[in-house]
Amino acid sequence: MLDRQDMPAAIRRADYRPPTFTVDAIRLEFDLDPAETIVTAELSLRCLTETAFPLHLDGEDLTLLELSLDGTALDPAQHVDGAGRLVLHELPPRAVLRTRCRIAPEANSRLTGLYLSNGIFCTQCEAQGFRRITFFPDRPDVLATYDVTVRADAGSCPVLLSNGNCVDRQSLPDGRHMARWQDPFPKPSYLFALVAGRLDRLADTFTTRSGRQVDLHLYVEPGQAARAHCAMAALKQSMAWDEARFGLEYDLDIFNIVAVADFNSGAMENKSLNIFNAKYILADEATATDTDMELIEGVVAHEYFHNWTGNRVTCRDWFQLSLKEGLTVFRDQEFTADHRSRAVKRIRDVRTLRARQFPEDAGPLSHPVRPDTYVEINNFYTATVYEKGAEVIRMIHTILGEARFQAGMRLYLGRHDGQAATCEDFVAAMEEASGCDLVQFRRWYSQSGTPRVTAQWHVEGPASGAGPGAGGQALPDGGCLVLTLSQDTPPTADQAEKVPLDIPIRLALLDGEGRPIAAWLEEAADAAPDRSAPGEHLLRLTGPRQRFRFRPAEAQEHAPLPSLNCGFSAPVILHADYGDADDAFLMVRDPDAVNRWEAGQRYATRVLLRMAAAEDPAMAVDGRYVDAFGGLLRDEAMDPSFAAVAMVLPEEGYLADQMAVVDVDGLHAAREAMLRAIALAHRNVLLGMHARLQPARPYRADADQAALRAQRNAALALLGLLTEDAEVQRLVMAHYRDADNMTDRLAALTVLAHHGQEAARNLALADFEERYRGEALVLDKWLAVQAQAPRRDALATVRRLLDHPAFRLSNPNRVYALIGAFAMRNQWRFHAADGGGYAFLAEQVKKLDGLNRQVAARMAGAFGRWQRYDGPRQNLMRAALESIRDMPGLSRDTFEIVNKSLEVGK
Ligand code: TRP
Ligand code: ZN
């Protein structure tokens, strides 16, 4: 166990100080070798302040072989402190520091710094990996130009890459060769990258709108180039879109992407040399689903967009991480929305936010979009910084409108180009360019927690007599609808006191047919600058409680029904006066597709929670909801991509978040019973849908065909619950067997593995395993399907699969597919009452911590919401957390997560 004095110290945003020295230029030389790589660095240091000493350069796991200052050799042993940093007691205002270090890439299992992935040398420097390569002020506000020479064995490393332009290539003695790369743009160390290995290349070009021809090179493991076309197309689309929508052009003559098998996160935006988890590059119809392809497009776009929002303008310090991440996520969301169904993209993003960010904000790891403190920065690449950060940008966009938002972008990028900036700089630019007041809005950056907005409404007659908010009541001429909105944010683990936020709420008032009515807003807190739809209003809820009076242009036969928070305009939890009848109406009639989906989800949530509370959930199925669902299914005019998301019931994890104490078994039983009831009641409609929606052959990956497959597979998933129905089971088997693409095959495999009878299940799983032997990324799907199975033996299966030849604890994709899917996507089995799931996860976290602490810490996050469960489960989870915390030599990454989780229990 860690002693108090060994506890890793927290770093505070308030303690930020500008650097005392900067590095104007760095020359690096790499002599690559798996066991002993020699890194020579020459730093041109320049003093920025008067009192600069002693100067500490970051370093970690480096063996310093030589050290010299302006040509004078110094004793390495005298200049490295206990923490591994290089200490210089005195320096002239300008100096050239030269170091020679030894590192061991093949021993680097943490996948940060320089490491080997399937024999390929590659780097991951964000956030603090560069210090594992050489001594350097490893902070994002030190921007240098890089001149990099790479020497390696020509046979095993024919490809040598780094940032910028290749200025020299030569053969060397002893079968080695070299390449020299220069990056003209000053950049922080976290954007440095190097790749060397045996790789195949897919090449293409893009001509920017000002006529610059850019070489696009996509590098993959040998034999995989045919699977890189989807990513290449996405890259070109991203480059064109950033010009068209944001007016932003690429700035070098070359753009490289490398895909590697072992990678901690999705991908990394290193200047002109993006490095990707192979999972976000490699795709073809036989091995990737439509969803995978959409994800790939989004990640390729995201990393490309970082060239402006991240690289040209970077972050001053890591507390500002959302400056680049929230903004870039917003940009990639808009990219996908502009190319596919905007509504469905929004619905998916709302689902992710609710599944990942809301729980984070309500648990022990709660933090603001711009955190105030951290122990390990790698733990802050969170749903809050990314997804809630993107929501904050989206709200600014909603308040300003597209034109003024883009003016703000131009001001921000123009003003801070080449600089390390802050979230405040961004908001100030948006404010200045638009003339909009964002003073109170800034609190979204500093306040954690999800605001709750409560909405109530009633009709007031012309004479002033206030009527109750009864549903069918008329709204006479001269009357108005009074809407009261209030907000409060519950205290969070990190912040007790909360203040009101500036919350933009889009809304429409709907008549009895679901049409928005024209109405005047009488006491506008703030008028809408841009109305995105006729009859829509934009309110800004700034106080704890506000009243808004709407006077319809014409008398209404029925009191209008407000459709609130259209397009999910604010990331809040909405409590409104809707009843089952309102939601049944809105789920088919609301013209705002996001709210149409929302009404269906809200209705289902209410029904499922009622069922879960019943003695026997299966006996408590709500027939009216089953009927309403049938209305959805019979609407053949519905956009298939929308229908596909509308046909999915809220996940068990989301339902659990709505309960004071999670009823693990009740929720599971209720949801399964409802799915079965829907399938039974609408069997023939679903069969008809399955027959009708078969896309034309040949297979195309485009959005139209993908939408048909998605809806058809949603029908299949429901039908799959009818385990005893021989005709349906034959259909599922045929769907599996006849699939000519991974989307359909995986959909059928999931149905069989989750609900199929033993023989069919085993047959399909064995066939899939055999068919994709050696295809690691496809077998990840096979692992995940089994880990998520709602079956009593799920944990036993997961334990058995740990020994499967396709599984490797050292590869993050495998860990997420098996251990992550079980702990985070199988609520029913992970939270099994016997604690087996908890003991299993604790065991794996402890093993992982010595191997890859970033992945271990992420897995440990699955215990985060332990206090929301019943007493016996709490005790089991607390014991599991304590056993991790007490492990000798625990990393500070895992320690921070586990300790914060335990602290809230005190
Ligand atoms: N900057 C990357 C992105 O969002 C994130 C990232 C890549 C990362 N590699 C990482 C974060 C390693 C933490 C650790 O595009
Ligand atoms: Zn990013």
Percent of the chain beyond pLDDT 90? 93
Our answer on whether the CB atom of 303 is closer than 6 Å to any ligand 1 atom is yes
pLDDT band at 516 (very low <50, low <70, confident <90, very high): very high
- Exposure of 2 by Cβ count < 10 A (0-12 exposed, 13-18 middle, 19+ buried)? middle
pLDDT band at 815 (very low <50, low <70, confident <90, very high): very high
Mutate to test the pocket of ligand 1, among 268, 302, 376 (most ligand atoms within 8 A of CB): 268
Q: Look up residue 622 and give its two tokens.
A: 């709500």
**pLDDT(618) > 70:** yes
CATH domain 21-198 topology = Immunoglobulin-like (2.60.40)
Q: What is the β-pairing status of strands 573-576 and 452-460?
A: parallel
Provide the 10 A C-beta neighbour count for residue 588.
18
pLDDT digits (tens, 9 = 90+) for 859-898: 999 999 999 999 999 999 999 999 999 999 999 999 999 9
Mutate to test the pocket of ligand 1, among 115, 125, 126, 331 (most ligand atoms within 8 A of CB): 126
Element housing 899 (H / E): helix 892-903
Sign of CA dihedral 43, 322, 84, 844: negative
**Residues ≥6 apart with Cβ < 8 Å to 773:** none
- The Cα 600–Cα 632 span in angstroms is 9
Ligand 1 centroid from CA 674, angstroms: 40
Question: Does this chain's domain 21-198 share its CATH topology with 452-577?
Answer: yes
Instruction: Please indicate whether residue 51 or residue 552 has the higher confidence score (pLDDT).
Output: 552
Our answer on whether the CB atom of 325 is closer than 6 Å to any ligand 1 atom is yes
301 in Cβ contact with 816 (< 8 Å)? no
355 in Cβ contact with 654 (< 8 Å)? yes
pLDDT digits (tens, 9 = 90+) for 157-173: 999 999 999 999 999 99
**pLDDT(241) > 60:** yes
Instruction: Identify the pLDDT of residue 106.
Output: 98
- DSSP-derived letter for residue 660 is S
Delimit the domains of the chain by residue range: 21-198, 316-446, 452-577
Pick from 509, 458, 455: which is nearest to 485 by CA? 455
Instruction: Identify the pLDDT of residue 474.
Output: 84
**pLDDT(473) > 80:** no
pLDDT band at 534 (very low <50, low <70, confident <90, very high): low
Our answer on whether the CB atom of 126 is closer than 6 Å to any ligand 1 atom is yes
- The Cα 516–Cα 851 span in angstroms is 57
Ligand 1 centroid from CA 416, angstroms: 22
Give catalytic status of residue 303 as yes or no: yes
Tell the residue nearest (CA) to atom 13 of ligand 1. 378
Give the N- to C-terminal CA distance of the chain in Å, as an integer: 18
Q: Give the Å distances, CA to CA, from 739 to 287, 381, 742.
A: 12, 38, 7
Of residues 303, 376, 536, 672, which has the active-site annotation?
Answer: 303
3-state secondary structure of 874: helix
596 in Cβ contact with 646 (< 8 Å)? yes
**pLDDT(822) > 70:** yes
- The Cα 879–Cα 894 span in angstroms is 16
Over range 532-546, report the average pLDDT. 88
**pLDDT(51) > 80:** no
Q: Phi and psi of 507, rounded to 5°?
A: -155, 160
Q: Give the Å distances, CA to CA, from 664 to 421, 606, 614, 823.
A: 45, 16, 13, 14
Ligand 1 centroid from CA 385, angstroms: 12
CATH fit for domain 316-446, picks 3.40.50.10880, 1.10.10.10, 1.10.390.10, 1.10.760.10: 1.10.390.10
Which amino acid makes up residue 230? Answer: C
**pLDDT(620) > 80:** yes
Instruction: Identify the pLDDT of residue 522.
Output: 85
pLDDT digits (tens, 9 = 90+) for 376-426: 999 999 999 999 999 999 999 999 999 999 999 999 999 999 999 999 999
**pLDDT(765) > 50:** yes
For 460-512, give the DSSP string: E-TT--BPP--TT--B-TT-EEEEEEEEE---BTTBS------EEEEEEEE-T
Pick from 844, 869, 873: which is nearest to 859 by CA? 844
The dotted CATH code for 452-577 is 2.60.40.1840
**pLDDT(5) > 60:** no
**Residues ≥6 apart with Cβ < 8 Å to 134:** 28, 39, 41, 59, 62, 99, 101
Our answer on whether the CB atom of 265 is closer than 6 Å to any ligand 1 atom is yes
Our answer on whether the CB atom of 322 is closer than 6 Å to any ligand 1 atom is no
